[in-house]
Amino acid sequence: MCPKKQSVTIQDVAKAAGVSVSTVSRVLNGKVDVSSVTQEHIEETIQQLGYTSNLAARSMRSKRNHLVGLIMPDIAYPFAWEVMKGVNRAIAESEYDLLVYTRGDVRKYGTAAHEQQIVSLLNGSITDGLLIVAPVSEEFFSNAPIVSVDHLAVRPGYPSVHSTNYEGALEAVRYLLSLGHRRIGFISGRQELISSNRRFQAYHDALAEAGISLDQNLIAPGDYTTATGYTYAKQLLNLPQPPSAIFAANDQSAMGVYQAAQEMNLRIPEDLSLVGFDNIPEAAYLNLTTVDQFIAEMGYQAAKILFRLIEGETLETKIQQLPTQLVIRGSCQVLLSERASAS
């Protein structure tokens, strides 16, 4: 199917060039103590034979591979894509190549043990450092640096970049309150993630500020997916006293709410006010009001930090918070305040 030519090793090159393996290795690693004559000769031979060093073997002996890893449970959802965009930019600007590792499904992943396994797999050998998206673990065993994206651990064992989840969510709920809403539903995120808890905490606090006590009926569990967003939105909207507004813990669940509302012939924002956390492109097209958290920027910053760590810098700041921004789209505000005050 394709030329099975048994891969050529450093030995073959040495033999062909009539030198020892170590000399070839020296050339390969840009060491200086090689005469320019042999240097050129070896390089020529490498060209001719089409030699490429074996990653596995090389990784086993040397420290640096100019390769960093990005671990994601799944690469097919908008959040992942945004993170990758940011990381990709940092990679393009750098000397490193990127290896994105995924199992393709959160369900094939998700436990701390799994995470540790993948970390060991990559960082123990082939990568110089690792970026981990929304990890569950607070600490990892690893001999190369790790930076997490979107995970604010209480006492993190690694540097971390995330957005101001609490502040952003606070603003979102305050906004809905400012429109006159009193019954605001909440679709939660994955319980095990801190980001989700922070957003819930803000929901709680904003309501408390306004003197509204929590109504458990208006709080729906969720897991950051469209499917549950849809399911629980239906449930909320079918209550005897449905909420007049919903705050969804992320974009995906907001999309679910959107779908549910459409199906129930509720117009957004006329009949139902909706705000979602996150800033995927789709939101803009649908005129959804969102709390943008600059996901790509988080990926970019995390990668930059990782590079510095790999270079040997010791950074003071372990946690970096990137700002969020409430983006109100369309004519949401006016219509809603009219409706809300009328009710």
Q: Which stretch binds DNA (CB under 7 A): 17-25, 103-111, 293-301, 327-335?
A: 17-25
Q: Terminal CA-to-CA distance of the chain, rounded, Å? A: 70
Nearest to 138 by CA among 157, 111, 162, 113: 157
Taking the C-alpha atoms of 239, 243, 249 and 255 in order, what is their torsion angle to the nearest 10 degrees? Answer: 80
* Other beta carbons within 10 Å of 231: 18
Token pair 């988080």 in the structure block, residue:
298
Residue with Cβ nearer DNA (12 or 74): 12
* Distance (Å, whole) CA 54 – CA 65: 11
By the rule CB under 7 A, 54 interacts with DNA? yes
Decide: residue 265, CB within 10 A, 0-12 exposed, 13-18 middle, 19+ buried.
exposed
By the rule CB under 8 A, 309 interacts with a copy of itself? yes
By the rule CB under 7 A, 9 interacts with DNA? yes
By the rule CB under 8 A, 102 interacts with a copy of itself? yes
- 11, 29, 111, 117: residue in contact with a copy of itself (rule CB under 8 A): 117
Whether the Cβ atoms of residue 133 and residue 100 lie closer than 8 Å to each other: no
| Displacement of CA 265 from its chain's centroid (Å) | 34
By the rule CB under 7 A, 57 interacts with DNA? yes
Q: Encoding tokens for residue 198?
A: 């922070």
From the list DNA, a copy of itself, none, pick the one residue 21 interacts with, judged by a Cβ distance below 5 to 8 Å according to partner type: DNA
Residue at 160: amino acid letter = S
From the list DNA, a copy of itself, none, pick the one residue 37 interacts with, judged by a Cβ distance below 5 to 8 Å according to partner type: DNA
- 75, 210, 264, 328: residue in contact with a copy of itself (rule CB under 8 A): 75
Residue with Cβ nearer DNA (143 or 314): 143
From the list a copy of itself, DNA, none, pick the one residue 155 interacts with, judged by a Cβ distance below 5 to 8 Å according to partner type: none
At its nearest, how many Å lie between DNA and the CB of residue 47?
15
Q: Which stretch binds DNA (CB under 7 A): 60-68, 90-98, 176-184, 265-273?
A: 60-68
* H-helix segments, 238-280: 251-263
By the rule CB under 8 A, 90 interacts with a copy of itself? yes
From the list a copy of itself, DNA, none, pick the one residue 239 interacts with, judged by a Cβ distance below 5 to 8 Å according to partner type: none
Angle between helix axes 36-49 and 10-17 (nearest 10 degrees) is 120
Task: Identify residues 33-52 at the interface with DNA (CB under 7 A).
Answer: 33-35, 37-39
By the rule CB under 8 A, 89 interacts with a copy of itself? yes
| Displacement of CA 103 from its chain's centroid (Å) | 15
Residues 6+ apart with CB under 8 A from 302: 86, 87, 131, 147, 148, 149, 161
Decide: residue 170, CB within 10 A, 0-12 exposed, 13-18 middle, 19+ buried.
buried
- In DSSP terms, 23 is beta-bridged to none
> Judged by CB under 8 A, how many residues of this single chain contact a copy of itself?
62
* Distance (Å, whole) CA 276 – CA 254: 5
Q: Encoding tokens for residue 208?
A: 């408390």
Residue with Cβ nearer DNA (53 or 337): 53
From the list DNA, a copy of itself, none, pick the one residue 105 interacts with, judged by a Cβ distance below 5 to 8 Å according to partner type: a copy of itself
By the rule CB under 7 A, 58 interacts with DNA? yes
By the rule CB under 8 A, 97 interacts with a copy of itself? yes
Positions touching a copy of itself (CB under 8 A) are: 1-7, 50, 52-57, 59-60, 74-76, 81, 84-85, 88-94, 97-105, 108, 116-117, 120-122, 124-126, 139-143, 145-146, 157-159, 281-282, 285, 309, 314
Task: Catalog residues that contact DNA under the rule CB under 7 A.
Answer: 7, 9-11, 18-23, 25-26, 28-29, 33-35, 37-39, 53-54, 57-58, 60-63
